[in-house]
Amino acid sequence: MPIANEELDEYFINLANINAKPLIKTIRTQLTAQVKKMETDYKIAEGQASKLSASIADNYQDYIAKLTELSQRLNHFSLSFR
């Protein structure tokens, strides 16, 4: 007795959903954790740049280096989510 094509299609769709949903959940969890880490790291670096800017005349090279780091972090962040 042959299986109706619609039944087979529905079976494979359900099978894909059952197996894909846990994987998708894991990937979303990992992505959320990665984004939070990137945001935290950026905020820390931004705070350091702010402190350096308070005495920029004494440490402008460190300030420029920190701004470069911030720029690279933003670039990495934007490239990660294109």
Asked if residues 73 and 41 have their Cβ atoms less than 8 Å apart, the reply is yes
Is 1 a residue whose pLDDT tops 90? Answer: no
Token pair for 24: 């998708």
Q: At what angle do helices 60-80 and 5-54 cross, to 10 degrees?
A: 170
Q: What is the mean pLDDT of the chain?
A: 88
pTM for the full predicted model: 0.67
Predicted confidence (pLDDT) per residue in 4-16, tens digit: 788 878 888 899 8
pLDDT-derived band at 2 (thresholds 50, 70, 90) equals: low
Q: Report whether 29 contacts 50 (CB < 8 A).
A: no
pLDDT above 90 (res 64): yes
User: pLDDT tens, 17-32?
Assistant: 898 999 999 999 999 9
Q: Is 48 exposed, middle or buried (0-12, 13-18, 19+ CB in 10 A)?
A: middle
